[in-house]
Structure 1
C-alpha cells in the first residue's frame, strides 16, 4: 500500500511514517520546505511543499496513493485554524487525483459524552476542557464538517490527551462514539489506530473514539 502522510514531522505523523514503513508500506511524507526531516528509507519519498494551504501544490504528493493520513493539527491555541485550512487543501488534492481513502486525527471532546460517563466528568471535566481550548475545537469542528461533506472514504480518529509514551497496541475504541473514562493516549498508539483502520470497511464514514 502506498500511503501519503501529512504532518509527517509532527508527533502523530512521525509515528505513522515509521510504523507504516515497518509494516512494509511505501510512504510519501509531506513536509514543509523549512522543516527538518532526516529519516531515510528505501520505501520513503519526501515531498517538500511551501505550505498546506493550496491544493495544487499537494497533488503530486497524493497522486497514485492508496490512502492519505493526516496528523495535521494545531500545536497551541494561538496557531489559528491550521487543521481546517490544511484539510481543505488535502481534500481538494484528493478529489483532483481520485484518491478516496482518508484518515484524519481530531480530538475526543468533539465526540458525544458517553451515557455511562461519571457525573464529575460530565458536569465539570468535559465543559472545562471545551472552554479552555474553544478555538482549537472550533477549528476541528470545521475540519470534521468538511471531511464529512467530502467525496472521500473517510475515518476520523478522536483521541483524548496525547502523550509521548511508547506504542502498546492496546487501547479501547468506540466506532461512532467516545471511550468512557479515558484520559490519555500515546501518539504512537494514535498512529497505530490510524493505520489499522485503513483496511477496515466498518470504519468508513465514521468517527472513532479511542483511549486507554
Structure 2
C-alpha cells in the first residue's frame, strides 16, 4: 500500500513508519523538521510541510491508499493541536478524494469499559480531570472526523509505554478493554496498521490495551 503518515517524528508516528516500511509499504512521512525523523529505509519519502495549511498537504496525500496520523497533544499546553491539525489533514484528503484515515486518540474519549473495577474507575476519573484540556482536544478531533467524508478509525489507547512491539493486546471495536491500563507505543502503531483493512472499524473508535 501507499501510505502517508503524519506526526512521523513522534513516538507512535515513528513506529508506524518503521513497521510499515518493514511490511513492504511505501511511506510518505510528513514532518516539519526532517532532521527529527529517526527512520530510514527503502520506500520512504520525506515530505516537509506546514501542517496548518490543507493546501500544502494535498500533495502529501494525493494518490495514497490510506493516511495514518500520530498527531496529538503531548502535554496539557499542547491542547488544541489535535483537532486543528487533523482538520487540515481531513480537508487535504477530501480535496484529493482519499478516504481511509486512521488516527490515535485516547481511552478516556471512548465509552467506559464494561465491568470496570472500582479502583480503575476512580483513577480514571482523576486522570480525566487533570488532563481535561487534552481529552477535550481529542473529543473535538473525533467530532471533526465524524463530520468528515473520510472512512476514519480512531484508535484509543490508555497510558502509553516505550516497549517493543508484541502484537499481543486486546482490541474492542466501539468500546474499551476492561482494566486496560497500559500499552506500548509500538503496539499502538501495530494496531493502527492492522485496522487499515478491517471494515468493521470504519467510522468507529477502537479501544486497545494489554
Q: TM-score band, normalised by the shorter chain?
A: over 0.9
Shift of 1:80: 3.1
TM-score, normalisation: structure 1:
0.96
- The aligned runs of 1:132-143 (5 Å cut-off) are 132-143=130-141
Assess if the C-alpha contact under 8 Å between 2:34 and 2:46 holds in 1.
no
Alpha-carbon distance in structure 2 between the residues aligned to 1:57 and 1:130 = 35
Corresponding residue for 2:190?
A: 192
Q: Please, which of 174, 181, 197 is the counterpart of residue 179 of structure 2? A: 181
Runs of 4+ aligned structure 1 residues displaced above 3 Å come to none
Shift of 1:42: 2.3
Gaps of 5+ in 1: none
Corresponding residue for 1:23?
A: 23
- DSSP 3-state at the match of 1:114: coil
TM-score, normalisation: structure 2:
0.97
Gaps of 5+ in 2: none
Are 2:103 and 1:104 equivalent residues in the alignment?
yes
Shift of 1:79: 1.4
Are 2:113 and 1:85 equivalent residues in the alignment?
no
- DSSP 3-state at the match of 1:78: helix
Change (3 A) 1:65 1:34: closer
- DSSP 3-state at the match of 1:143: helix
- The aligned runs of 1:38-117 (5 Å cut-off) are 38-49=38-49, 51-117=50-116
Shift of 1:35: 4.9
- The aligned runs of 1:107-186 (5 Å cut-off) are 107-122=106-121, 124-186=122-184
Assess if the C-alpha contact under 8 Å between 1:185 and 1:211 holds in 2.
yes
Shift of 1:144: 0.4
Assess if the C-alpha contact under 8 Å between 1:177 and 1:208 holds in 2.
yes
Q: CA RMSD in A?
A: 1.0
Assess if the C-alpha contact under 8 Å between 1:9 and 1:35 holds in 2.
no
Corresponding residue for 1:12?
A: 12
